[in-house]
Amino acid sequence: MRTPFLVVALVSLAGVIGAAQSKIDVKDIVDHPFSADFASGGRLRMYLRSGDFHIDGTDQNKILVRVDGRNAWRASDLRVQLERSSDSAELTVSGGPKNDLNVTIEIPRKTGLFVRMPAGNLELHRVIGDKDAELHAGELIIDVGDVSEYSRVEASVYSGGLEASPFGESHGGLFRSFHKEGNGRYTLHAHVGAGDLTLQ
């Protein structure tokens, strides 16, 4: 008599897991704008193609991706993939034209953010939470907000400029870095291989 009960329990558990996880794959965001629900306070990992990206925190409980620039019309093969669970998600942006394409990603303002990008320009604005961003080559700009909200700050460049006026730091040259400790609740890690890193 236990076998039917076990089968029903396993089917129910599979349904719960399936409801908690979802995948979205959009291959043409020019004609099919990308939008997905994502609750404030979650954790989001991003893996971005090289390019010009702006990540903006908003008051919406959504992840939105849009493109503009001279080559926006050629972005039909730009691919946005999102794998999402109840309180975390992984976003991947790949494909599209190599040059003259600007990508804006809007996320809930309160989000723990992890971003990796090979090269280009990457800007993070109005995001409250842990921030972990690395760029192999190019320019990385992070709006840090209230510096008292951080418990640990680590910033470094292998070659280039490191400007962090909210933390009283300014460095240029090779292998520049600084580390700060505080009493806040968030952490900040930022690194650029070759290029410029600005915390503002």
Is residue 14 situated within a structural domain? no
103: nearest Cα among 156, 48, 171, 153: 48
Burial of 58 (0-12, 13-18, 19+ CB in 10 A): middle
Is residue 5 situated within a structural domain? no
DSSP 44-80: EEEEE-SEEEEEEEESSSEEEEEEESTTGGGGGG-EE
> For the chain, what percent of residues have pLDDT higher than 90?
74
Assess whether pLDDT exceeds 80 at residue 20.
Answer: no
Is residue 171 situated within a structural domain? yes
Mean pLDDT for all residues in the chain: 89
For 106-150, what is each residue's pLDDT tens digit?
999 999 999 999 999 999 999 999 999 999 999 999 999 999 999
The more confidently predicted of residues 67 and 9 is 67
55: nearest Cα among 141, 177, 130: 141
Q: What is the pLDDT of residue 28?
A: 76
Confidence of residue 41 (pLDDT cuts 50, 70, 90): very high
Q: What is the pTM of this model?
A: 0.86
* Structural domain that includes position 89: 22-199
Q: What is the pLDDT of residue 89?
A: 98
Is residue 44 situated within a structural domain? yes
What Å distances lie between residue 102 and 17, 54, 97, 130, CA to CA? 36, 8, 10, 25
Confidence of residue 69 (pLDDT cuts 50, 70, 90): confident
Is residue 102 situated within a structural domain? yes
The total number of structural domains that make up the chain: 1
Is residue 13 situated within a structural domain? no
Is residue 8 situated within a structural domain? no
Mean pLDDT along residues 53-69: 94
Is residue 163 situated within a structural domain? yes
